[in-house]
Each structure stands twice: as structure tokens, then as C-alpha cells.
């Protein structure tokens, strides 16, 4: 229910038992509990050790009250709590190794980037179904490609070529009699690949436990929602989809010693095994194509029938069949001759390219149909690439998957140090592609940087002058927020154009003058793989030393398993319900008001939790919750990258439900966080004006901005903080210099925003903004 105009200010006068719970949620890269609650020490007060509820602690490590909140002309007791979820994405070798599955995570994220399906539009519904089907097919091909590339290293380069009897490779390490021992070489070639499949199985089975919080039933995926994230749900078909991926991988491994899926062996026993493995592979691929969540989640339909047919016992039988076929294929092909890994890896890559191209083509009409919902919005509020952003993300996932495999193959061949060992012929164009991409990136950066600097100097920024911020920093941060997706699109486009050239060169001779690019590509892929492995190693030893790796992991692990089941578990499905449950427990005390504070990426978790609460609480309880987003990416990134899950209209719905109890802190110098509820800001006749969400959730022109006591500029629900701060404030921590994305809680405007989000009048009233002439 939207907030009525008379409800926009006070909820009701604070009583003697009124207190405010400030429940903070940190962003990506993890945050120490002490820093989260702005204290020198913190202690756990709830949680299971993975999701931790912490409060400031005194010298005896007992929970301590927070600083009082000055509002309504009195001191309101405040308790500062923090929800620390960094343990779900960082710490330990196992979690650090999740970064190696980054191509899988990109394919899964692409599902949540699909354009929304308008209700009742038959063509859009069919296009959405076809897009999800192709995306699942691309995901399973990525799994098969990874397993096949691992087999290129262990089965082809090592077992079939390096360990062949009489080969000089590792002659001083592996004697000739051992090479001729029965099943030695097949075991060396296949055991690492089977172990890889087992590791994928273990990773995909990890899930975070969360108690049932009684949240309202979710809406179907990819449908229009009224509040952000209400269709962010786990796919019930994930166990079945996981089984189909692993069965496809086992069937492919069984085919490799037999010559691959494109070559039928001559021996009768091998022919029988080859046929069974091929049938198993086809069954797995057909299952992936037919298994769609909207159909499977309904009580009738092909998806529901397939889910019943692929129950736990059926999945176990398929696993057992795949394992037996791998063992039988290894036993039937001893002594190990040339394998089918080379032609198989190229065939899988070729099919993957075709699927990605079809997906991109099919997404064009789907995005054009969906654009009717955002056609009248300002350009800076429309989805990235017109709702087509999922296509380049899938393309980058495929290119990364192929590039990592090619780089690994060349690195292992160099490590073995034997001349004459052959890698798949398609690897050379791949390295040529990445070499050309590396050179092109350097050239574009060198040539384009001066033009970008010139353009930045021409951008006017009246807001920066008003807030006393360096105009250069304001321009640079704004440019990064506006053009990040353009950079991603340019890189994806360049790599895709190079992929077309690489496919052409696969069937022709590579010109001599291009061969140095292949060498550069090998070095670039080696550096990329080596840097990633080093980051994984550092993250396993000291989690605090790999914060950049944590950013990628935190962003990728936010989304539930949908298109690709072999990705790290989704922490949002644990954090949001537990935040909602903690809020409900506080609201049992009649005088308590809860303000959910999300910093940076944590703002996304906070609005999802708030949506769950608003869908389940009664009206009096809903009036006692507020939201504060800090340095948030909700407007400039999330609503534009994920238009079906976090549509812009959903932010308007949240603003309508909360009214003035939603506040947002931002800085113009912050390259990561920006405005959330306002846009089209300008200075006119000594007044700061702009468009934004009004208290009833409708977009429109806002009243002139006001200036807070600390110099913050308040326009609508957004609080623009001066950077650097105006000066030290008595009783508050002082942080000199430019703050950008850090130290938001040290600004005096923080307490004013918390009070307003709690439905209280702040202690110091704002004044009408007067700009210098």
C-alpha cells in the first residue's frame, strides 16, 4: 500500500520505549565485523557462524549499545548491528577455487540478465523459452568443453603422446616397462579427468542452510514484479540439471578413448561401448533442452514429467552407467593409441559458437518487444544494450572457456619440454585471437585515453562546485558509471570479431606475419591463468589479500543456480531471509524501529530483504521499518543489467511502500556508487533541481534541494555528501581527504539519514540550498 501524504513525515511520536535498530549489511570484498559496526571490537550475538549477526563490544567482549540518535529534540537509544556474510564467498582453498569456474558463473549470470517477458505476450513468451533453452545448452557445452580440454592435457598430451613407449618425454622419470604396463597409460589419462568431474559434482552440491522464515511465495521467473528481487528464487530443477551436466561429461570422457563422438571404432566391443556412450550423451543433452523452470515449476507440463522421470534413483543409475562406460572404454583401448580429444574439443567449440550466435540473434526480437516498458525513460535509466546484454556476457564466457583451455594446453606442452607434441589445430587460432585482443587493447588504451581526457575536461559539473568536490574526480567517477557497460560491449565485440577471424584461419594457413600474435596470445593466456591461480593461492592462504578476486566471486555468487548448476552456492537465498527474520524478531518489541542499511553491494541484499518484509508484514509493522542505501549501484548498474529481476519500476514500488523512510547516501566522486532515486539533476537560478521518485513512488520533478548542517545536498531521497568533508565534527571520527567509496559512516549526514529512515525528524532541520553566484 503506498504511503499516504499525511504519513510521509512522522509515523507516530516517539514514546519512552522507542529505540532504533540500525542493521548494517556490508558490500563486496568482505568487511571486518569491527569496521561494519564502526567499533574497535565486535562480538557475535546471533547467526550460525557463516551468516553472523554482530554488535559493538566493550572491553569484556559484551554487546555494547550504539551511540544515541539525536532526533525529535531528544536522544533516541540506538543499537548498531551488522550482518557479516563474507564467510560465504571467501576463505579457504575450496572457496577460492570457485574463481576457476568463472565462465560457468558468467553463463549463469546471463540468465538473470535476460529481458523481461511482458505478461500475456505469446511471442515474447516463446522467445523467452527459446532463449532460456539455448542458454542452458550453451552452459552444458561449457561443461563438456572444460572436461574435454582437461582430457587434451592428461589423455592426449600426457598419456597418449608423452608416455608413449619409446618417447623421450619424461624418459628419466617414467621407465619404458611402466609405460607398457596394462591400463597404466589409460589410468594416467582418465583418472585426472574423472577427478575433475567429481570436483565439479562436489562444488555444485554445496548449498547454504537457512531456516524457513515463512516468506511469501515467489513470482515466476522472468515475469514482471512490483518489488525488487521477489522473483529471485532457487530453481527446483537444479539437482536434475546438475546430474545431466555431469552425465554429459562422463559420456564425453567415455567417448574420447574410443575415437570421439565423430569417429566410430572398428572393433565390435568398442562399437558397442561407443554407441552406449553416444546414447547417454544424447539423453543428457535432450534432458537439458527440455528442462525449463517455468514448466518444471508448474504441476503439469513436460518439465514436471521430466522431473519425475529423472528422480534420485534415475540420476544414480545414469551416474553409474557413465562411470562403467568410462572404465570399460579405458580397458578396451589398451595400449592407448591416438585419442579423439582433438576433434572432440573442436566439435564442441564449433557447436558452442553456433549456439551463442543463435542466442544473440534470438535475443534481438525479445529485447525489442521488452523495450516497450522503458521506451519513455531517460537514456541513463534504460537497460544496458537495450536489454540485449546477456548475449555478450555468454559470448565472453565461451571465449574465456576456450582461451583458458588453449592456454593450459600450450603451457603443459612447454612444461613437458618435448618437441613434436601436438595440440588441437584449433588452439592456434584461439591464441591468435587473444594475442590480437591484447595488442588491440593496448593500442585502444594508448590512442583513446587522450580523447577521453579531452572529453572529460569538457563535461560541466555544477553539483561538484556546489559540494566543494574536485571537478576532475566528479567527472571521472561519472564517466566510469556511465560507460562501464560500453567498455564491456567494446571488449566483447572485439573478441567476437577476432573469433570470426580465428574460425576462418582454422581452415586456412595462418600468415607468417600473424604468428607473433599467436605467441603474444599464449603469453597473455598464460599470464591470465597464472594470475588467476596466484589469486586463488593467495586467497586460500590469506583471504584479506585477495580482495579483487572477492569482488568477482561476490558478484557471481549472488545469483541462484539457474542456467548452469555447477557454480558456487547463492548467498542471497540465505542472507535475505535471515535479514528478514532478524528484522521480524526486533519488531516484536512495540517501540522498536528497524533501519536496514546496505553499503555498496549490500544495498542489493537490503532491498531484496525489504521486499520480502513488505510482502509479509502487517501495516503497523511495515511502518516501523526503513531502508538506507549507501554508495549503491542499484540505479546505474543493477536495474540496467538485470531488467527482469530488478526492474526500474520495482524501485518505484519500493519508494511507494516506504515513502520518506528510504534514504540514499552517495558521493559524486564515488566511481562505484551513485544516485538511486533521482536523475536528470541540474542547477537553475540558484537552486538544485532534478527528477526522481516522489513519496508516492511515481517519477516526476522534485522540489528544490535542501542543504543539511554538514553541507550534504538532499534532493528527494538522495543525500549527496561533500567530498572531501567540510571539516571535523565534534564527537565524530574525522577522515580527511577524498573519500570516494569509503568511510560513509564517518560523515555526520549518516545519523540524519538513519533518523529519517526510522520515521523521525532529525535534530537539525535542513536549509534551502543557496548556491554561490
From CA 544, how far away is CA 532, in angstroms rounded? 16
C-alpha cell of 531?
Answer: 594470475
pLDDT mean over 165-179: 83
pLDDT mean over 697-722: 89
- Cα torsion angle, 149, 153, 155, 156, sign: positive
Residue 699, helix vs strand vs coil: strand
Q: Is the bond leading into 228 cis (omega within 30 degrees of zero)?
A: no
pLDDT at position 99: 65
- Of the candidate ranges 192-201, 306-315, 747-756, the one whose mean pLDDT is the lowest: 306-315
Whether 23 and 184 have beta carbons less than 8 Å apart is answered as no
Which residues are CB-contacts of 175 (< 8 A; sequence separation ≥ 6)?
none
pLDDT at position 1: 38
Percentage of the chain beyond pLDDT 90 is 32
Q: In what order do the strands lie in the sheet with 678-684?
A: 678-684, 687-693, 699-701
Under the banding of pLDDT at 50, 70 and 90, the label for residue 308 is: confident
Under the banding of pLDDT at 50, 70 and 90, the label for residue 296 is: very low
Reported as half-sphere exposure (CB side, CA atoms, 13 A), residue 95 has a value of 24
Residue 291, helix vs strand vs coil: coil
At what angle are helices 122-151 and 390-416 packed, to 10 degrees? 10
Q: Where are the beta strands (DSSP E) in 718-760?
A: 718-720
Instruction: Name which residue leads in pLDDT, 578 or 230.
Output: 578
What value does the mean pLDDT of the chain take?
82
From CA 235, how far away is CA 221, in angstroms rounded? 9
- Of the candidate ranges 129-138, 169-178, 715-724, the one whose mean pLDDT is the lowest: 169-178
pLDDT at position 450: 63
pLDDT at position 263: 84
- Per-residue pLDDT tens for 362-392? 999 999 999 888 888 888 899 999 889 999 9
Q: Is residue 555 scored above 60 in pLDDT?
A: yes
Smallest CA-to-CA distance from 564 within 275, 232, 122, 144 is with: 144
Maximum CA extent, the chain: 91
Instruction: Name which residue leads in pLDDT, 535 or 672.
Output: 672
Q: How many helices (H) and strands (E) does the chain have?
A: 24, 16
pLDDT mean over 141-162: 90
Q: In what order do the strands lie in the sheet with 78-84?
A: 42-47, 52-56, 78-84, 19-25, 592-599, 625-630, 662-666, 718-720, 713-715, 706-707, 767-768
C-alpha cell of 595?
Answer: 533501519
From CA 640, how far away is CA 651, in angstroms rounded? 12
Whether 367 and 644 have beta carbons less than 8 Å apart is answered as no
- Per-residue pLDDT tens for 323-340? 999 999 888 876 666 667
Under the banding of pLDDT at 50, 70 and 90, the label for residue 732 is: confident
Smallest CA-to-CA distance from 717 within 755, 768, 766, 757 is with: 757
From CA 72, how far away is CA 13, in angstroms rounded? 8
- Per-residue pLDDT tens for 441-489? 777 667 666 655 555 555 555 566 666 667 777 778 888 888 888 888 8
Which residues are CB-contacts of 567 (< 8 A; sequence separation ≥ 6)?
98, 101, 104, 105, 108, 203, 204, 556, 557, 561
Q: Is residue 417 scored above 70 in pLDDT?
A: yes
pLDDT at position 187: 87
C-alpha cell of 66?
Answer: 550504539
pLDDT at position 550: 54
Instruction: Name which residue leads in pLDDT, 113 or 220.
Output: 113
C-alpha cell of 726?
Answer: 567540510
pLDDT at position 529: 65
Per-residue exposure over 244-274, b if at least 16 CB sit within 10 Å of its own CB, e if not: bbbbbbbbbbbbbbbbbbeeebeeeebeebb
Under the banding of pLDDT at 50, 70 and 90, the label for residue 741 is: confident
Output the pTM of the full model: 0.89
C-alpha cell of 233?
Answer: 528464487
Smallest CA-to-CA distance from 311 within 223, 237, 226 is with: 237
DSSP codes, 15-58: -TT-EEEEEEE--TT---HHHHTTSS-EEEEEE-SSSEEEEEB-
pLDDT at position 272: 92
Under the banding of pLDDT at 50, 70 and 90, the label for residue 758 is: very high
pLDDT at position 524: 76
Smallest CA-to-CA distance from 579 within 622, 621, 619, 611 is with: 611
- Per-residue pLDDT tens for 622-633? 899 999 999 999
Q: Is residue 299 scored above 50 in pLDDT?
A: no
Which letter does DSSP use for residue 558 in this model? T
pLDDT at position 8: 45
- Of the candidate ranges 263-267, 549-553, 564-568, 642-646, the one whose mean pLDDT is the lowest: 549-553
pLDDT at position 687: 75
From CA 208, how far away is CA 204, in angstroms rounded? 12
- Of the candidate ranges 317-326, 471-480, 569-578, 719-728, the one whose mean pLDDT is the lowest: 471-480
Whether 717 and 661 have beta carbons less than 8 Å apart is answered as no
- Helix ranges (H only) for 87-225 are 93-96, 102-112, 122-151, 176-179, 184-205
- Per-residue pLDDT tens for 87-103? 887 655 555 566 678 89
On the 0-12 / 13-18 / 19+ scale of CB atoms within 10 A, 60 is exposed
From CA 541, how far away is CA 119, in angstroms rounded? 50
Provide φ and ψ at 753, rounded to 5°: -65, -40
Which letter does DSSP use for residue 468 in this model? T
From CA 677, how far away is CA 652, in angstroms rounded? 8
User: C-alpha distances in angstroms, 363 versus 102, 114, 126, 135, 386?
Assistant: 23, 8, 11, 11, 10
pLDDT at position 521: 77
Whether 425 and 506 have beta carbons less than 8 Å apart is answered as yes
Amino acid at each position: 500500500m503506498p504511503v499516504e501524504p499525511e504519513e510521509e513525515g512522522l509515523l507516530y511520536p516517539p514514546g519512552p520505549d522507542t529505540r532504533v535498530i540500525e542493521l548494517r549489511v556490508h558490500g563486496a570484498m568482505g568487511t571486518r565485523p569491527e569496521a561494519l559496526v564502526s567499533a574497535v571490537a565486535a562480538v557475535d550475538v546471533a547467526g550460525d557462524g557463516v551468516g553472523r549477526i554482530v554488535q559493538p563490544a566493550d572491553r569484556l567482549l559484551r554487546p555494547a549499545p550504539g551511540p544515541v540518535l539525536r532526533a525529535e529534540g531528544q536522544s533516541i537509544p540506538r543499537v548498531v548491528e551488522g550482518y557479516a556474510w563474507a564467510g560465504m564467498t571467501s576463505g579457504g582453498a575450496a572457496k577460492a577455487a570457485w574463481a576457476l569456474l568463472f565462465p560457468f558463473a558468467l553463463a549463469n549470470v546471463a540468465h538473470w540478465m535476460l529481458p523481461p517477458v511482458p505478461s500475456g505476450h505469446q511471442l515474447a513468451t516463446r522467445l523467452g523459452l527459446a532463449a532460456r533453452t539455448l542458454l542452458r545448452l550453451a552452459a552444458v557445452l561449457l561443461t563438456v568443453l572444460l572436461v574435454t580440454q582437461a582430457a587434451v592435457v592428461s589423455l592426449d598430451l600426457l598419456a597418449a603422446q608423452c608416455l608413449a613407449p619409446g618417447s623421450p618425454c619424461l624418459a628419466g622419470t617414467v621407465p619404458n616397462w611402466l609405460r607398457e604396463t596394462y591400463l597404466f597409460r589409460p589410468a594416467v589419462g582418465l583418472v585426472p579427468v574423472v577427478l575433475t568431474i567429481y570436483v565439479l559434482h562436489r562444488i555444485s552440491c554445496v548449498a547454504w542452510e537457512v531456516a524457513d522464515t515463512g516468506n511469501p511465495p515467489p513470482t515466476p521467473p522472468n515475469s514482471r514484479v512490483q518489488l525488487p528481487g521477489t522473483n529471485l528464487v532457487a530453481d527446483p530443477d537444479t539437482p536434475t540439471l546438475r546430474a545431466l551436466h555431469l552425465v554429459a561429461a562422463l559420456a564425453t570422457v567415455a567417448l574420447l578413448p574410443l575415437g570421439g563422438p565423430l569417429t566410430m571404432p572398428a572393433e565390435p566391443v568398442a562399437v558397442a561401448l561407443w554407441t552406449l556412450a553416444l546414447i547417454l550423451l544424447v539423453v543428457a543433452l535432450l534432458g537439458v533442452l527440455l528442462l525449463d523452470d517455468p514448466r518444471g515449476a508448474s504441476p503439469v507440463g513436460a518439465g514436471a514429467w521430466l522431473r519425475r522421470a529423472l528422480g534420485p534413483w534415475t540420476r544414480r543409475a545414469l551416474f553409474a552407467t557413465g562411470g562403467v562406460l568410462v572404465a570399460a572404454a579405458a580397458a578396451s583401448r589398451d595400449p592407448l593409441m591416438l585419442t579423439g580429444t582433438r576433434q572432440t574439443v573442436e566439435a564442441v567449440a564449433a557447436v558452442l559458437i553456433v549456439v551463442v550466435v543463435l542466442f544473440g540473434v534470438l535475443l534481438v526480437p525479445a529485447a525489442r518487444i521488452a523495450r516497450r516498458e522503458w521506451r519513455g525513460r531517460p537514456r541513463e535509466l534504460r537497460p544496458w544494450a537495450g536489454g540485449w546484454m546477456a548475449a555478450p556476457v555468454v559470448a565472453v564466457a565461451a571465449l574465456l572457456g576456450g582461451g583458458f583451455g588453449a592456454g593450459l594446453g600450450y603451457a603443459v606442452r612447454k612444461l613437458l619440454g618435448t618437441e613434436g607434441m601436438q595440440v588441437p589445430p584449433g588452439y592456434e587460432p584461439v591464441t591468435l585471437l587473444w594475442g590480437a585482443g591484447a595488442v588491440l587493447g593496448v593500442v585502444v588504451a594508448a590512442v583513446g585515453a587522450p580523447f577521453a581526457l579531452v572529453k572529460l575536461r569538457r563535461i560541466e559539473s555544477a553539483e561538484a562546485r556546489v559540494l566543494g568536490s574536485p571537478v576532475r574526480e566528479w567527472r571521472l567517477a561519472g564517466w566510469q558509471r556511465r560507460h562501464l557497460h560500453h567498455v564491456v560491449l567494446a571488449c566483447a565485440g572485439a573478441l567476437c570479431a577476432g573469433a570470426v577471424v580465428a574460425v576462418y584461419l582454422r581452415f586456412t594457413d595462418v600468415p607468417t606475419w600473424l604468428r607473433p600474435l599467436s605467441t603474444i596470445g599464449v603469453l597473455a593466456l598464460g599470464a591470465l591463468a597464472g594470475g588467476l591461480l596466484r589469486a586463488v593461492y593467495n586467497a586460500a592462504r590469506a583471504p584479506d589479500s585477495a580482495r579483487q578476486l572477492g569482488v568477482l566471486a561476490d558478484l557471481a555468487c549472488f545469483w541462484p543456480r539457474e542456467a548452469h548448476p555447477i557454480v558456487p552456492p547463492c548467498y542471497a537465498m540465505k542472507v535475505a531471509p535471515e535479514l528478514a527474520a532478524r528484522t521480524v524478531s526486533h519488531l516484536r518489541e512495540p517501540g522498536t524501529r528497524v533501519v536496514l542499511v546496505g553499503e555498496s553491494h549490500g544495498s542489493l541484499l537490503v532491498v531484496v530483504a525489504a521486499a520480502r518484509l513488505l510482502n509479509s508484514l502487517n501495516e503497523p509493522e511495515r511502518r516501523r521499518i526503513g531502508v538506507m542505501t549507501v554508495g549503491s549501484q542499484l540505479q546505474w548498474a543493477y536495474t540496467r543489467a538485470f531488467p527482469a529481476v530488478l526492474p526500474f519500476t520495482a524501485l518505484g514500488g519500493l519508494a511507494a511502500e516506504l515513502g520518506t523512510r528510504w534514504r540514499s547516501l552517495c558521493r559524486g566522486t564515488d566511481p562505484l556508487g551513485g544516485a538511486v532515486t533521482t536523475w536528470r539533476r541540474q542547477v537553475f537560478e540558484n537552486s538544485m533541481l532534478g527528477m526522481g521518485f516522489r513519496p508516492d513512488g511515481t517519477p516526476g520533478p522534485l522540489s528544490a534541494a535542501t542543504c543539511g548542517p554538514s553541507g550534504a545536498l538532499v534532493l528527494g531521497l538522495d543525500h549527496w555528501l561533500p567530498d572531501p568533508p567540510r571539516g571535523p565534527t565534534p564527537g565524530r571520527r574525522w577522515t580527511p581527504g577524498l573519500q570516494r567509496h569509503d568511510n560513509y559512516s564517518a560523515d555526520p549526514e549518516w545519523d540524519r539519514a538513519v533518523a529519517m529512515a526510522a520515521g523521525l525528524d532529525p535534530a537539525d532541520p535542513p536549509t534551502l540550498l543557496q548556491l554561490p553566484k
